[in-house]
């Protein structure tokens, strides 16, 4: 069942008005891959009346007012992607297409969508109920952060949007707790995973229990203070060890409560058991289809979180550094449900998560005591305490392909080859299983670069593990009689990367991988990542030494063209 998005649907349900209205920068796709749908369904499961307004016209009151004012709160998100990343390339050119907009034309999502939608609500509903920010855009911008498009440090989006609360991370539990608190007319400011604005008079208790970050007016001007702030922010994201944080913004304070505890497997299973239509709401489908459904409609999320912690990636800050996985029974039930859809042709496009092969194992120490501060799970080498074990995923994949009506189950998410090689018992059998039964001609891996100095700034493993993995992949593919190949994702112009480094990468790919790369992206500094910190400061924050950062847009593009083989100047 869809959540209502029109007045007619509200009336047909017999509601006088919704308890909660969720506003999103995406079209309304009812899918477990779409945050607004997940949050909405979990709130509805908890007994709340939830409506959705997708991509409202910001020049008219018609869309934002059509469901009326909610009883408890407005929930606002920029969508599945930060709106600035959705709207602009790494060269700051406007993107023409948008996979989450009807007709795929990038015409419906405003820049800084969370701020714009909050202002739109306040314009048409004076002194309204609380406005709550959520989703990736809010999560990555919840404290002072470097913004690539303004090329400066911006304050918390909570202040810029003039919203009341912000829920960060995967906020299913926090959203329900907030709704319950508001419904009972109690103070929601103790909800974990929530940020709010405080004044001096309310700060004594916060100061006693929370960690202070350097104030906004300091980190705006002092790159060393900004680096110290980011370290403290990043290290306080684990639900077991994190302290609450606060940061002065002018004469007020941002307060960030500690994160929500990781979901139990039963709780995570429940998120996927509420039932999803796995398509666009008909009201929006009439405006045009969305390209995202081609990928997500018949795909299955098996887990969330990532212990890879690549410096350029925001997953660790948003989904967390602890991997949580669904039960085998939950995933198989979803697969059986997918076979009932009239347009299902027997093919699951993907089974995985942020990284495919992080299903079913985690570091026991991390689960009990929290993440390590001084070291990472996979960098510079796979930590022996992690003990990768692919046995559960092997069994899952075998059972999935035996589901009646299933022709093929693909593993299309990227694979961490270093984790496969570190699993001495099940790594090779896992690769055999995937190569023989779950590859659609190509397997995605993301070495990103070849040069040790650049890989170090990225937080990525060296090329030895890549080449060993390639040899195993080629050997197994040949033995299986399959003409399959690896697809390599590479990054140009990352902090620490020079044109000479890209020349060496081109030589490496030609000699060792025997390809002319096509999947090369120019580094884009996402908010609240270590790589964006390096880009802004020009300093390696782990050793305190300066590093080269390419900031001239044509030279960034030139770095990419060195690898793709087109270094001729554009006419």
Picking from 142, 158, 192, the residue at the C-terminal end of a domain is 192
Q: Which pLDDT value is given to residue 519?
A: 86
Q: Which pLDDT value is given to residue 45?
A: 98
Q: Which two tokens stand for residue 432?
A: 């055999």
Which of 332, 266, 353, 280 minimizes the C-alpha distance to 31?
Answer: 280
Q: Which domain holds residue 43?
A: 7-192
Look at residue 116 and tell me if it is in a domain: yes
> 104: annotated binding-site residue?
no
Cα dihedral 417→421→425→431 (10° resolution): 40
> 195: annotated binding-site residue?
no
Q: How many CB atoms lie within 10 A of CB 181?
A: 17
Tell me if 272 sits within 8 A of 32, measured CB to CB: yes
Q: For the chain, what is the domain count?
A: 3
Look at residue 293 and tell me if it is in a domain: no
Q: How many CB atoms lie within 10 A of CB 434?
A: 23
Distance CA(280)–CA(288), nearest Å, equals 10
Contacts 24+ apart (CB under 8 A), 429-433: 429/390, 429/394, 430/357, 430/390, 430/393, 430/394, 431/469, 431/472, 431/473, 431/476, 432/476, 433/394, 433/397, 433/398
Look at residue 78 and tell me if it is in a domain: yes
Residues in the chain where the model's pLDDT stays below 70:
566-571
Look at residue 70 and tell me if it is in a domain: yes
Q: Which pLDDT value is given to residue 498?
A: 98
Asked whether residue 483 falls in the same domain as residue 433, the answer is: no
* Cis bond upstream, residue 85 (ω within 30): no
Query: Sign (positive/negative) of CA torsion 376, 381, 387, 390?
Result: positive
Task: For residue 554, give the CATH number of its domain.
Answer: 3.30.750.200
Contacts of 356 (CB under 8 A, 6+ apart): 350, 411, 412, 413, 414, 415
Asked whether residue 13 falls in the same domain as residue 133, the answer is: yes
Asked whether residue 42 falls in the same domain as residue 172, the answer is: yes
Distance CA(109)–CA(131), nearest Å, equals 19
Look at residue 287 and tell me if it is in a domain: no
Asked whether residue 15 falls in the same domain as residue 55, the answer is: yes
Residue 365: helix, strand or coil by DSSP?
helix
Look at residue 247 and tell me if it is in a domain: no
> 310: annotated binding-site residue?
yes
Task: For residue 140, give the CATH number of its domain.
Answer: 3.40.50.280
Which of 29, 39, 45 minimizes the C-alpha distance to 74?
Answer: 39
Q: What is the pLDDT of residues 212-252, one digit of tens each?
A: 999 999 999 999 999 999 999 999 999 999 999 999 999 99
Asked whether residue 558 falls in the same domain as residue 482, the answer is: yes
Q: Which pLDDT value is given to residue 567?
A: 61
In the block, which residue shows the tokens 């390639």? 470
Asked whether residue 473 falls in the same domain as residue 549, the answer is: yes
Q: How many CB atoms lie within 10 A of CB 208?
A: 7
Asked whether residue 35 falls in the same domain as residue 115, the answer is: yes
H helix intervals, 388-518: 391-400, 417-422, 427-437, 452-458, 463-479, 499-508
Q: Which two tokens stand for residue 184?
A: 């009972």
Asked whether residue 555 falls in the same domain as residue 429, the answer is: no
Q: Which pLDDT value is given to residue 374?
A: 85
Asked whether residue 398 falls in the same domain as residue 538, the answer is: no
Picking from 163, 192, 221, the residue at the C-terminal end of a domain is 192
Task: For residue 367, give the CATH number of its domain.
Answer: 3.30.750.210
In the block, which residue shows the tokens 């493993």? 461
Distance CA(351)–CA(297), nearest Å, equals 12
Look at residue 535 and tell me if it is in a domain: yes
Q: Which pLDDT value is given to residue 565?
A: 81
Look at residue 262 and tell me if it is in a domain: no
Query: Sign (positive/negative) of CA torsion 355, 360, 361, 366?
Result: positive
Asked whether residue 387 falls in the same domain as residue 483, the answer is: no
Q: Which two tokens stand for residue 504?
A: 């060496």
DSSP state of 125: S
Q: Which pLDDT value is given to residue 571?
A: 32
Q: Which pLDDT value is given to residue 569?
A: 43
Residues in the chain: 571
Q: Which two tokens stand for residue 404?
A: 């009646």
Asked whether residue 143 falls in the same domain as residue 17, the answer is: yes
Asked whether residue 120 falls in the same domain as residue 176, the answer is: yes
Picking from 139, 165, 192, the residue at the C-terminal end of a domain is 192
């Amino acid at each position: 069942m869809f959540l209502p998005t029109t007045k007619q649907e509200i009336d047909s349900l017999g509601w006088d008005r919704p308890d909660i209205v969720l506003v999103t920068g995406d079209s309304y796709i009812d899918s477990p891959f779409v945050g607004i749908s997940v949050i909405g369904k979990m709130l509805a499961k908890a007994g709340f009346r939830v409506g959705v307004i997708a991509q409202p016209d910001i020049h008219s009151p018609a869309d934002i007012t059509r469901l009326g004012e909610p009883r408890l709160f407005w929930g606002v998100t920029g969508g599945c992607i930060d709106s600035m990343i959705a709207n602009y390339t790494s060269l700051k050119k406007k993107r023409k297409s948008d996979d989450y907009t009807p007709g795929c034309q990038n015409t419906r999502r405003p820049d800084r969508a969370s701020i714009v939608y909050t202002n739109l609500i306040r314009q048409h509903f004076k002194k309204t109920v609380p406005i709550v920010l959520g989703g990736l855009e809010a999560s990555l911008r919840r404290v002072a952060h470097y913004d690539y498009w303004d090329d400066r440090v911006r304050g918390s989006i909570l202040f810029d949007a003039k919203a009341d609360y912000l829920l960060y991370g995967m906020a299913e539990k926090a959203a329900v707790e907030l709704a319950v608190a508001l419904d009972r007319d109690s103070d929601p400011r103790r909800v974990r995973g929530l940020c709010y604005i405080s004044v001096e008079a309310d700060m004594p208790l916060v100061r006693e229990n929370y960690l202070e970050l350097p104030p906004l007016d300091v980190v705006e001007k002092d790159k060393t203070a900004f680096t110290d702030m980011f370290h403290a922010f990043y290290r306080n994201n684990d639900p077991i060890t994190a302290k609450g944080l606060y940061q002065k913004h002018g004469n007020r304070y941002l307060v960030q409560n500690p994160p929500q505890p990781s979901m139990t497997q039963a709780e995570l299973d429940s998120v996927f058991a509420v039932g999803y239509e796995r398509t666009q709401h008909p009201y929006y489908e009439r405006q045009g289809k969305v390209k995202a459904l081609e990928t997500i409609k018949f795909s299955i999320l098996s887990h969330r979180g990532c212990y890879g912690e690549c410096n350029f990636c925001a997953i660790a800050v948003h989904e967390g550094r602890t991997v949580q996985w669904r039960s085998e029974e939950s995933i198989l039930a979803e697969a059986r449900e997918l076979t009932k859809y009239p347009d299902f042709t027997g093919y699951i496009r993907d089974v995985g998560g942020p990284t495919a092969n992080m299903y079913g194992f985690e570091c026991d120490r991390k689960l009990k005591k929290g993440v390590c501060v001084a070291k990472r799970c996979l960098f510079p080498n796979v930590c022996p305490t992690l003990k990768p074990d692919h046995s559960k995923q092997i069994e899952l994949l075998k059972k999935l392909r035996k589901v009646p009506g299933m022709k093929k189950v693909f593993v299309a998410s990227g694979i961490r080859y270093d984790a496969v090689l570190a699993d001495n018992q099940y790594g090779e059998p896992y690769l055999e299983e995937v190569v023989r039964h779950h590859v659609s001609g190509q397997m995605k891996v993301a070495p990103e670069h070849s040069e040790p100095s650049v890989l170090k700034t990225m937080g990525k493993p060296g090329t030895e593990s890549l080449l060993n993995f390639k040899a195993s992949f080629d050997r197994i593919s040949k033995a299986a009689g399959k003409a399959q190949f690896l697809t390599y994702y590479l990054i140009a112009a990352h902090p620490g990367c020079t044109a000479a480094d890209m020349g060496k990468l081109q030589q490496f790919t030609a000699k060792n991988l025997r390809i002319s790369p096509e999947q090369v992206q120019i580094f884009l500094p996402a908010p609240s990542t270590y790589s964006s910190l390096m880009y802004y400061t020009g300093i390696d924050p782990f050793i305190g030494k300066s590093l080269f950062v390419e900031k001239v847009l044509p030279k960034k593009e030139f770095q990419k063209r060195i690898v793709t083989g087109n270094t001729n100047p554009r006419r």
